[in-house]
Structures are given as C-alpha cells and as structure tokens.
Structure 1
C-alpha cells in the first residue's frame, strides 16, 4: 500500500500498528506483532523515526507514536516526486551521452532481440510506450498472444487492459497514437469493443487489407516488430533503435497510413445506412455486416450495390475507399 513512497512491508506494518494504537513501547509493539523480535522492532523504529513517520515521547520506558499521515505521508510523497523529477531532468543529458556513444558502434548494434515469454516481451514493449513523448505509430496484425476468435470480448479486454491504461495516460499527456489495423483484425468480433474504446480514447484508426508486418514505432527513437515461428506463434520481438533502418520503417508506416481507410465505430452511427457505410469503410465482409446489423446477406449485397451505383464505384474496394475518405472529412460526432 505504501511502497510508492519507499516503505517496505516491515515499515508499513509497524507504522500501521502505531496508527491503530498510539504511544506504545517497543515491548508492547513486539507483543502485538507475531514473529517480531526486539532487535527487528528497534531497527524498523529507527528507520521510521529517521523518515519522519514516527516520533519518540518523553518518559521511561521510551514510547513511540505515529506522526499524523496527512503530514508525514504528504512530506514523503513530495520528496519522492522531487526525486523522480530530478531523474526526468537527467534523461535528455543521458540520452545525449547514449547517442554519442552509439556513433562508433556497428550497424548490428542497433538491433536488439528479445526472445522472452509473452510477459517478458510485453514488459519491454511497455517500457518503450512509457518512453514515448511525441507519437506512437503502429501496424496491428497477427501474430498475437491469442488465437483469432478464441477469446470472448471480456477476456480480450482484460488481456489488453494494461496496455490500454498506458495508452490513455500517454494520450492525456499529448502523445499522438496512429494505428493501421489489418482488415483481418476487424473480422474478429472480439476486437470491436477494443477498437471502439481505443477510438474513443483518442487513437486515430485506419484499416488496410494486407499489412506487411506487425510494427510499433516510438517517436523517432525505436521500433518493435514481432518474431514468429513456422506455425505463426509469437516467440519474441525485434527492437530497432535509431538508425537508417528505423528511418525506413518510419517511411513505410507513413506510406501505408496515407493509403489506409479511416475507421469509424459502427455503433456510433445514427441509422442502419450510416452503420453500413461505417462497416464498409472499415473493411468488413458482407457476412460480418449482415451479422452485425441483423440483416440477410442478400439484403447487404443489394445495399452495397446501390451504394456502388450512387458513388460511381466499380469495385467494392473503390467504394470502401471513397466512403472512408467521406467519413474522415465529416465532423466527429460527440
């Protein structure tokens, strides 16, 4: 509970014991804390006094009392924040030293292989997300730690929630998120709630049919792409640091972003036709649209043909592109 301000489990337990019953001797504290020795209590009490959380009272035997939390914990919190701020101020200077040192390294030093388990690779990726200051750009496509259509929306949401929390905090701090999703992603109904929540949080979403690689770019400093085995199962990630290769990956993203179709959450549309337009622009198949809207497949096909005639589109792809651009130009509904 109090780890964030630097208190370990022992110090927290003793401080809470003093809050529960003020003015206790060391012997009284030991009697209330099973497994504690007098030496252990003395060591922790000394630490708490030095931190300004506990004070000693006059008299013999020596008695201890907890200092009011609104004073003691507020002071420690401010000290902790100040220490973090000083570390943050050091980051630009340390990064300058880092990049100066890397000028003499070989090209292969800019590629880092992380072949840990899912938790290990996720932790490395989250570190990079937390380091972003300007923008995060991504191609979202398989491989995933889960199989398509294998999870219910609630299960998928729980799996993605830690990343979503970091993303929301980054967006609130001014980091821009642009993500191109492969059309296979929107064919999985379990992804729809996640896509909608991401869009509502401020993520800019576009759809492209057939992305070449799974990719995340963090500012202009690093990128990650997935490693998969022969069966398509993820086995790690490649981290690319500042280099000509990173510049090429950045250019690749911008090219696909310019040609991808903007996505609008279907359930934010006002009418059945608006929902149909949104689903088409997002790259959904007739079968998925029919299921989503509760229509027959033949009805969906007829309405798609009507839209093709109305917009003068010769192919379904042309229609989706025109509808996507129209949606991108419309004011966002609130």
Structure 2
C-alpha cells in the first residue's frame, strides 16, 4: 500500500476543518479538487475514507484512523525538513506567522522586519487572526507560528499538541477622559463612573470584569467595543473609563489620560505557539523569528515596541508613543 503524503494532508484538513469546503478554502483549491484527492486516497488505502452526511461528508472509521496517523506523518516530515536545515545551518525560506490585531502591528511587524534584516534569505509572512483561528491554522500547517495572548483571570487551556514560547508581559492601563480630571492608577478610584469594555465573551472583557470585582465593585459597563481603537475613541468622547493593554496604546487620541494600573495588578501574557518539535530541533527560520519576537518585545534590550507607561502628568503615554489620531 502506497499512500501519497500530499493526499494525507488533504484528509488531515478535512478532519480538522470538518468538511470538504472548509478544507478547500484552507488549501486554496476547489472543493472538487479536494473530493478527487479523497477518492484517490481511498483507492490507495483500499477502503472508503469519507461518506455522505446530509449536504456534506464525514470520515468513516477508517478515515478517522488514517487522519490521526496523517497528522503524525506530516509532523515527521516537518521534523525531517528541520533536521536537514539545521545540518546545513541555513536560515531561509518562508515563515508564516499569525497574530491577534494589537500584537500584529505593535510586536510582530517590527519583529518580522528585524528577522529579515538579520537573515536576508528569510521571508516572513504576517497574517492577522484571532487566537482560535490561528491555533486551527497552526495545526493544519497553513501557518508556522501563532502569537497568542492569555489574560490574567482568564487562563488558556494548554495542550500537548503545541509548544508554547513565552514572549512578554503586557500590563493593563487605566484610561479616562482628560475632562474628568480623574487620572488614577487604582481601579477602586473609578467605582462610580461609566465603563467601556470589550465584549462579554472575550478574554479582555472577562478580565476587566474580574479585575473590577477584585477591586471591590461591579463596573457600570455602558459601552462594548472589541476594537481597542473604538475603546479609545469612546473614552476620548468622555463616555467612560476603560482597561487597555499597553500594546494597544500606540495611537492614543487627544483628551485621554493614560496610567499604568496599580492595584489590583493585571495584564496579559503574550506567547508564541508552534507545532511540537518532539526531540528534534526547530526549523532555523522559525527559531530566528521567535528570537526576533523576544528581542523586540517591550522591556527587552533593543526593543522598538512600546513599554509600560510611567505615572505623571495627564496624558502620559507608554514610552515611545505620541498622541495622535487612532488608525
């Protein structure tokens, strides 16, 4: 029995994405092409791997067994490629990295530029994606590195299927309308004001609520904004106070006071995730990007991204930031 590795990847995508159409989108081919590859793989395997279910398909018992092996086989091929790259001491090729919005611009973009400047044969491709999507794309090997976040009070479930690489801590900041004259570093000082928060289901929204509870009050949340730029605009308009992480404070509009949060301290951990390397080495190109991310992170020597804000006059911003229009 000879099984084509490329067709095994198609089966893996169908299993991971839950259908032919979604797998085709991830592989940038037509659903018809995916179906044809599955038919051919079934012939190679000598048994049916998928069967009709409503308007889509599901894996048969044999398909589930082969899909589980396919993920391990694809991982072994990747480890072999990494071993050869280490042997030749070559840092080159393409590395695809996905990151959530505030990290993509403030952290990943300068790290990608730094890595490519240090290694001219390296090509880093950046994709904006939320955490769950980037983790799915990582498992499917459509990306190589996912930059993710974990807020205090909202732990992320860890899995042995992926390797975690710490990058930095991103502390939360209290932002208030300058017209209020109530710039502060303590949450408890703002127990009587309206609030702007992220959506209830988001880690940031849940972390904000929990931090306020720890400070001894129930926040009067009147506005919800997933985009931090909108959060800043709402605060600038005098509509409420908010908790915002430092990396989201690159473009702070006029009329906003920014203070690092004092008590209770809260923030988020930013980390990279890669497919498990087992006992072998990381591909040198991936390792180069991870080192650039760590070197570019706030608070590191040579960092080019914003660090923690210092207390001071109204409108104080994290180091290196300049008030201006929100992009």
- What's the TM-score, normalizing by structure 1? 0.29
The structure having more radius of gyration, on CA atoms, is: 1
Name the structure with the higher strand share.
2
- What's the TM-score, normalizing by structure 2? 0.29
